[in-house]
Amino acid sequence: MREIKIVLPPPDLTEISANFTIDRGRVSVILTESRRRILRRGIEPIIDGKTYRAAKCDLGKTTEAFLRKYGREHMDRYFTGRKRIAYMLTPVTEEHTTAIWENTYAESHSFQYAERIQGDKVQMHLRTVASDCLRKFMADGVSILEVGCSNGYEMSLAKKGFSGTSCVCADVSPEAIEFAKQHSPAGTYDRFVEVSGNWNESIGSFHIIYSTFGAADTSSFHEIASFVGNNLKRNGLFIGTALNRFAAWDLVLSAITGKRGYARNRLSGIIPAGDSRYPVTVYARSVKEISSNGILHPVAFRGLSMLFAPYNYRRINRILIKIPFMRKLDEILSGIFPLSLLCEYILFVLSPATG
């Protein structure tokens, strides 16, 4: 459900279609400058037969919600370069818009995740390479904690051929956990655990903790390292990925296309919400930052994606990913020092610090 019909009362008597998000019965829409007069102050539009009051709301927060639901490519296509304004539509009565509300989970999580991540061949290629790295450290009977729920793609690949392995999946989002329950292959996860945003729980003692393309990018690395330290066996390993602060391909393309502000943000290590595939602020890191956390000791590093452009340059990706030789060449070059220090992601293996 990507659009809703908004019926305007007299004297307009007009029906418009708009993208939307919904939270606790309140509908948020973003309109461009040319359409903002439609929801002028005091107007009471009608959605699904229920009357709402329109009021301006925070554009930044609404944009984050839109990015989660529709993705960066959609936002770029319809909103880039245009002045825009966000409105929140609140029901005049206490009734919730049940029909819309019931669709919220399915569209904002299942559909959008599948479309934007699983449907991206470059992302799936990177996840396969990360899963292959995990397999190198697998053995029969190991226990694994995956931090950050997804559809179980990487873990299901890694577990093939090994017996007696167990895997617990942990996430701060109950919606992400529910998504993993519904979409991961049978037998991938043995248990699901919801953790707090402080990452201070002790879930158990695991041989391997695995976290790629998510938790380490959106949280303090020190917090993640502390969480890992609390749940990792003395001889265990933490395998994960982090956005690389010095991703050469991304920085070059950003300079060529005039996105110098983004390039500066990436070099500084903080990328604001909406400038990456994440709807929240993310952190780019260097190998030195990951190595010097004081809790975990570096075992191995390699790069991930030397040749493939970042997700926001999708046309280049679509061409290169079709060529098997390019996929293999990217995998080889990404593992060669010093090229590995210039890739889109850093793939790291850490162990508990001793002494």
Q: What is the mean pLDDT of each run of 10 residues along the chain (355 residues)?
A: 73 73 76 66 70 78 76 68 74 52 38 53 85 93 90 88 91 80 87 80 92 81 86 93 92 83 87 66 89 86 88 75 91 92 94 77
Could you give the CA distance from residue 193 to residue 67 in angstroms, rounded to a whole number?
A: 26
Adjacent-strand bridge partners of 238? 209, 350
Of 175, 172, 161, 233, residue with least CA distance to 204 = 233
CA distances from 255 to 54, 201, 258, 337 (A): 40, 42, 5, 24
CATH class, domain 120-352, is alpha beta
Instruction: Provide the pLDDT for residue 111.
Output: 41
Instruction: Provide the pLDDT for residue 2.
Output: 73
CATH class, domain 3-104, is mainly beta
Could you give the CA distance from residue 268 to residue 284 in angstroms, rounded to a whole number?
A: 8
Q: Is the pTM of this model over 0.85?
A: no
- Residue ranges, comma separated, of all CATH 3.40.50.150 domains in the chain are 120-352
- Residue ranges, comma separated, of all CATH 2.30.110.10 domains in the chain are 3-104
